[in-house]
Amino acid sequence: MPRSARPAAEIEAALLREFLAAGEGCVSGAALAKVVGLSRVAVWAHLHRLETEGFAFEALHSRGYRLTARPAGPSPALIRALVPAAPPLLFLDSVDSTNDEAGRQLTAGRAAPFIVLAAAQTRGRGRFGRVWHSPAGAGNLYLSFAFRPGLPPERMHLFTLWMGLNLCELLATTTGTAPQLKWPNDLHFGERKVGGMLTEARIDADTIRELVFGLGLNVATPAAAWPRDIAPRATSLACQAGRPLDLNTTAAALIERVLAAYSHFIVRPPRDEIADLWKRHDLLAGRQITVVQGNDTHTGTTRGIDDEGALLLRTAAGRTLRFRAGEVTLRKE
Ligand code: ATP
Ligand code: BTN
């Protein structure tokens, strides 16, 4: 493709990469023009468009441009600049649910993998159709990854746990916090939820044709921003880290991690890795819990997971129960 026919998103990501490499320094208009193979006027037009997304550039006479501000909200251009190898990123200011949009795009035949990222969701969903609080401008991330794995359905049992453990590892390393996984799909700090995962699949003829992995993560949400019903049980990564966190840098890091974890998962089931990581991040380890499954309620002490990711519960009567799905409540200790 001739350079001038490149999509704007790609050109702008390449320009931003030059600014990120220069840090506080200047990049000359000529250098920018050379990198993207466009005229200086065309470069200026792209910088101007990026300003509408929340970037600010200072023009310094005969020295070029300096990046002086980045958007606080989700910026597809910045994420692309930070993750050059990311698959196509579909960005929407608002959508019903990024999982639903990813599903629609798959049904319409869009090539996978791709990512759907939204600044807000009007019908963000959790398990059992519960509402996932998804306003714009709140410092939360809402995104879904779409894949066509072509694996047998039983290979997917460990998928959400594997993703959750990878996210716990990543967030622990990048923020110095100790996030925990609440079986099967919640990211927590103690009693407070920082994120949730929603994995949905379409299975045809014993093969997983389409897979959507949705993630909602509260990155920079201020404590005062929560609605009253969620406030006592929600938190954000920045609150836990005790310092501001950049939404786009966090998004870029987690996109890289999810893609790497997916590639690893597709090659072989990561049973040993999960057993290891489980010891570090299991919120429920040895805790008294109640599991609700349909109309049945069971109480007991957790005994970890088996090699298919099912939760093991030891009852007071000495029986060990195994749950492939269910809703867990921690009992006060
Ligand atoms: P929990 O264990 O917290 O009761 P759950 O796993 O049973 O949750 P889910 O469907 O996983 O239920 O999650 C939806 C719940 O998460 C909602 O009912 C609400 O309480 C909470 N919630 C909704 N949005 C957010 C958010 N952005 N951050 C943290 N918690 C949220
Ligand atoms: C849960 O806690 O039950 C899972 C919550 C998952 C929320 C994310 S936000 C992005 C994606 N789109 C949705 O509608 N849900 C997931």
Q: Which ligand is nearest the CA of 230, by number?
A: 1
Give the domain-ending residue among 18, 38, 69. 69
Going by CA atoms, what residue is nearest to atom 23 of ligand 1?
Answer: 132
Q: Which ligand is nearest the CA of 116, by number?
A: 2
The residue whose CB lies within 8 Å of the most ligand 1 atoms, and thus the one to mutate among 121, 219, 221, 230, is: 230
Co-location of 58 and 201 in the same domain: no
What's the gap in Å between 291 CA and the centre of ligand 2?
21
How far is residue 254's CA from residue 168's CA, in Å, rounded to a whole number? 10
Across the beta sheet with 140-147, the strand order is 89-92, 114-118, 140-147, 207-218, 192-204, 186-189, 180-182
Q: Which ligand is nearest the CA of 123, by number?
A: 2
What's the gap in Å between 226 CA and the centre of ligand 1?
12
Co-location of 160 and 268 in the same domain: yes
Q: How many distinct structural domains can be found in the chain?
A: 3
Co-location of 38 and 133 in the same domain: no
User: Residue 76's beta-bridge partner residues?
Assistant: none
What's the gap in Å between 167 CA and the centre of ligand 2?
15
pLDDT in tens, the chain (333 residues): 444 467 888 899 999 999 999 999 999 999 999 999 999 999 999 999 999 999 999 999 888 999 999 999 999 999 999 999 999 999 999 999 999 999 999 999 999 999 999 999 999 999 988 999 999 998 999 999 999 999 999 999 999 999 999 999 999 999 999 999 999 999 999 999 999 999 999 999 899 999 999 999 999 998 889 999 999 999 999 999 999 999 999 999 999 999 999 999 999 999 999 999 999 999 999 999 999 988 899 999 999 999 999 999 999 999 999 999 889 998 766
Give the domain-ending residue among 51, 69, 87. 69
**Domain assignment of residue 324, given as a range:** 288-330
DSSP classification of residue 121: B
At position 308, the amino acid (one-letter code) is E
Going by CA atoms, what residue is nearest to atom 2 of ligand 2?
Answer: 196
How far is residue 226's CA from residue 217's CA, in Å, rounded to a whole number? 14
Tokens of 28: 């000359």
Helices (H), ranges, the chain? 8-22, 29-36, 40-52, 76-82, 98-107, 159-175, 237-241, 247-267, 271-281
3-state secondary structure of 319: coil
Going by CA atoms, what residue is nearest to atom 3 of ligand 2?
Answer: 126
Give the CATH number of the domain where residue 154 resides: 3.30.930.10
Co-location of 262 and 115 in the same domain: yes
What's the gap in Å between 281 CA and the centre of ligand 1?
19
Give the CATH number of the domain where residue 301 resides: 2.30.30.100
What's the gap in Å between 268 CA and the centre of ligand 2?
26
